[in-house]
Chain A
Amino acid sequence: MFSFVARRILATVPVLLIVAVLVFLLLRLTPGDPAAIMAGDAASTEQIARIRAGLGLDRPIVVQFGIWFGNLLQGDLGESFYYKAKVTALIGQRLEPTLSLAALTISIAVLLAVPLGVIAAWRFGGWLDRALMAFSVLGFSVPVFVLAYILIWLVSLQLGWLPVQGYQRLADGAGPWLYHLALPSITLSVLYIALIARVTRASVMDALGEDYIRTARAKGLPELRVLVRHGLANAAVPIVTVIGIGVALLIGGVVVTESVYAIPGLGRLTVDAVLARDFPTVQGLILFFSFVYVLVNLLVDLSYVFLDPRIRY
């Protein structure tokens, strides 16, 4: 088992390296002079030259990568031209809202989607199954921001139950924190629920079609036990996998949701940085998000060890 864990961790290294190279090249892929783009249209030649020197763009590309990567390994993501602060500091400031939103969303989604998916698979073809499938397609198709506006109009403007936008820090009290996060997380969780419920249903249906379910029923076991201990237990691996992969969708959703609900998190920072052509920040954010995504999927991989005894070696 130790070798499995070691191998999995080592496997992330080349992926992270490639991500680093790709992100590094991103800036250099611009047609035209990246320094000029960053400085903006009204900059003078000295400003542009200063930016170029600051970014090290006048050195050979391999040297640039070496310096940049070296800094990266020390945890230095560079400095934002727009905000005049270190990128890592910026990320640190905006981390909590995004983390809260993501955590709340995932919790709601998993707690709702998995049981729904299991029941839909069990009563395959029944009304719950069809309703869930319809909901799932809708959830996938209605874009997050459209849904956000619909919910805002309905819940905030017409019914006045929840605020239209804003964020309250957890340190200021759990009540207001939840009050402001409720609508955004519900909005975002719809997409996530659609995804997880669908895969849960499909995996449980697959598991229920296997021979060991027939054996379990032939042993006269109660149906609930067959469904959970024999069905769901074997469907766990694909379900956990999709929760991990869904984090990528979640990140995209976070960017849009924070934009609509004016939540001062990493998503908002990304949009602002892109609009301001603040490349160091954009690079740093992409690196950060990718790293988180790879980490989440690594944890998912490692969880297989507990879920499936065949995956130990």
Chain B
Amino acid sequence: MNALDVDGLTIGLPSGADRTEAVRRVSFSVARSEILCLVGESGSGKSVIAQGIMGLLPKTLPLNGGSIRLNGEELVGMSEAGYRLRRARRMSMVFQEPMTALNPVMTCGEQIDEVLRFHSDLSLNQRKTRTLDIVREVALPEPERIVASYPHQLSGGQRQRIMIAMALVLEPALLIADEPTTALDVTTQAQILKLILELQKRHGTGVLFITHDFGVVAEIAHRVAVLRVGELVELGARDEVLKAPRHEYTKMLIASVPTLKPHGRAVPPGAPVVLETRGLAKTYAAHRWFGPSRKVRAAEDVNLELRRGQTLGIVGESGSGKSTVARCIVRLIDPSAGEIRIDGADIAGLGAAALRPLRRKVQIVFQDPFRSLNPRRTVGEAIIEGPLNYGLARAEALERARRLLELVRMEPSALARFPHQFSGGQRQRICIARALAMEPELLIADEAVSALDVSVQAQVLLLLEEIRTRLNLAMLFITHDLRVAAQVCDQVAVMSGGRVVEYGPAEEVFLRPRHEYTRALFDAAPGRGFAFGST
């Protein structure tokens, strides 16, 4: 008997949505002790399926047809009370955002205890013991302290372990994990994936693992199901689907996944140095009334060099200081020490007036395409704002904007439209056009593709490559994604704890890392040894 059997599941959407059904006649099953990865891009309906199984669908998404059998028992049509009895006991769920998924005003121990209290007959002491046991099992050190802690006192990885503990404490037959590692650092992600694999093997749980990251799929899946706009287009064993995909869509997705092998492109020698930082540092001091101020060294002693026509990648996890460095270079924040030389001129200590003429040389594209454009201004207004600041006439600025939209492969009619009328990928292109309107020498991409779907990401990366070559720009690429870095960067700087721990040509850093942090980082990259689409 399978842990889960889904047959012809159809879930509708409210009227006015871009399609009539969120999910259409989807069928798959998860056997005991098996991990099935459900892959899809945003809007494919994968989370909706998870909600449907758990009976957590909002009223606006009706379950219109099909059957869902948990351990052979039909769930469709069950009352709310029936669902409540089976949640946590027979099936449980782990969500994506560990930061917000736990109740901030209850201790972690209480939140695990709740599950036991309402679903079992154990006494208080038995519950306490069981709670400590499960906390130990998810590899959290000092279980007593953790149990008494509040969620905000734990890190993202620790919180996700608590979520997993809550989900598995009653040993359900099915665990649904909805993008559980997407919001975590690469190294933390590796640990959580390992944990899930271990626990799953030990308890014989069937796991429905939802993700958009093929590296993760390669790492842990037994079988793979590919979802596209609400329909299942491919289902099979991991190696089959990832190495020899049959459906066109799957083939396209697999092809979009960047490999971890550096591109090994030749770097033109003797190009002029566009950016040079020496001893760049940024320290934040939290002043306190009682006691000395606490200093946080966001970036320390950062030395970088970037030439025309090159891409330098800064790779690191959250808190490594990479964004701080980028923002110092664009002078959105003021560095505490060091030099930042653009074309030889040191901009680190310049005041606002002296800085103005030099600002146009360095431009930046941000991570969040939905907040990078003023929602009340047209695309045209957004792109010409920069040139207008520097005295360009309006008509000429609009001409330039038109040409740039062509360059980023968008229709010139976009000039008169508003940001909300465009998708995430299109908005990023607009932001790139806006940055290029200043005719900069250095373009900084601060996690510019991290919020995009894998297929859109591939297109934008290609576009950036093209632009760099055509305009002979220098590009500084900030990312946490090793695959993206491998595809795009000529040189790589690896940062950790505010310092650059490894720095060199991409080939060297990727294939022969020297620092132990770099090695740990690469070890943690999911699906590292996997040859996608190789057959």
Contact = CB atoms under 8 A, between A and B. Distances in A.
Direct contact of A and B (CB under 8 A): yes
Contacts of B100: 210-212
A198 interface: no
Nearest to B163: A215
A218 B104 contact: no
Contacts of B118: 219-222, 225
B92 A219 contact: yes
B106 A229 contact: yes
B87 A234 contact: no
A307 B88 CA distance: 28
A309 B150 contact: yes
Contacts of B531: none
B149 to A, nearest CB: 9
Contacts of A221: 84, 114, 118
Contact of B95 (A215, A233, A308, A310): A215
Given A219-B88, A220-B119, A212 B104 contact: yes
Given A219-B166, A220-B88, A309 B105 contact: yes
A310 B152 CA distance: 7
Given A210-B100, A218-B87, A308 B105 contact: yes
A218 B56 CA distance: 7
A310 to B, nearest CB: 5
B115 A218 contact: no
B114 A234 contact: no
Given A214-B95, A215-B163, A219-B88, A310 B150 contact: yes
B42 interface: no
Contacts of A233: 103, 105-106
A310 B87 contact: no
Nearest to B96: A211
A214 to B, nearest CB: 7
A309 B104 contact: yes
Interface in B138-178: 150, 152, 163, 166
Interface in B61-116: 83-89, 92-93, 95, 97, 100-106, 114-115
Given A214-B101, A234-B103, A309-B105, A3 B92 contact: no
A310 B104 contact: yes
A221 B87 CA distance: 9
B: interface residue count bin: 20 to 34
Contact of A214 (B56, B84, B166): B56
A229 B111 CA distance: 11
A3 B101 contact: no
Given A3-B289, A3-B290, A234-B103, A219 B152 contact: no
B456 to A, nearest CB: 26
Contacts of A308: 104-105
Instruction: Give the most central of A212, A222, A230: most B CB within 10 Å.
Output: A212
Interface SS, A side = helix
A229 B87 CA distance: 19
Contacts of B290: 3
Contacts of B97: 211
Contacts of B85: 220
Nearest to A221: B118
Nearest to B84: A220
Contact of A216 (B103, B104, B289): B103
B474 interface: no
Contacts of B92: 218-219
B32 to A, nearest CB: 21
A212 B166 CA distance: 13
B78 to A, nearest CB: 12
B476 interface: no
B54 interface: yes
Nearest to A312: B150
A215 B101 contact: yes
A123 interface: no
A230 B103 contact: yes
A59 interface: no
A84 to B, nearest CB: 47
A211 B151 CA distance: 13
Instruction: Give the most central of A214, A215, A216, A220: most B CB within 10 Å.
Output: A220
A124 to B, nearest CB: 11
A222 B114 CA distance: 11
Contact of A218 (B93, B119, B288): B93
A216 B117 CA distance: 13
Given A211-B95, A215-B163, A222 B84 contact: yes
Interface string A1-27: 001000100000000000000000000
A219 B115 contact: yes
Contacts of B119: 220
A220 B116 CA distance: 11
A214 B55 CA distance: 11
B74 to A, nearest CB: 18
A233 B163 CA distance: 20
B84 to A, nearest CB: 4
Nearest to A3: B290
Contacts of A216: 103, 114
Contact of B86 (A220, A230, A307, A310): A220
Contact of A220 (B87, B95, B163, B288): B87
B152 A309 contact: yes
A28 interface: no
Nearest to B288: A3
Nearest to A309: B150
A130 interface: no
Nearest to A222: B118
Nearest to A210: B100
Contacts of A307: 105
Contacts of B88: 218-220
Nearest to A307: B105
B129 to A, nearest CB: 20
Interface in A84-127: none
A215 B105 contact: no
B101 A212 contact: yes
A50 interface: no
B104 A219 contact: no
A212 B289 CA distance: 35
Given A220-B85, A221-B118, A309-B152, 6 more contacts: A211-B100, A219-B166, A220-B88, A222-B84, A233-B105, A236-B105
The 4 A-B residue pairs whose C-beta atoms are closest, nearest first, are A220-B87, A211-B100, A220-B84, A212-B103
26 contacts: A3-B288, A3-B289, A3-B290, A7-B289, A212-B100, A212-B102, A212-B103, A214-B56, A214-B101, A215-B166, A218-B54, A218-B95, A219-B87, A219-B88, A220-B83, A220-B86, A220-B87, A220-B119, A222-B84, A229-B103, A233-B105, A308-B104, A308-B105, A309-B152, A310-B104, A310-B152
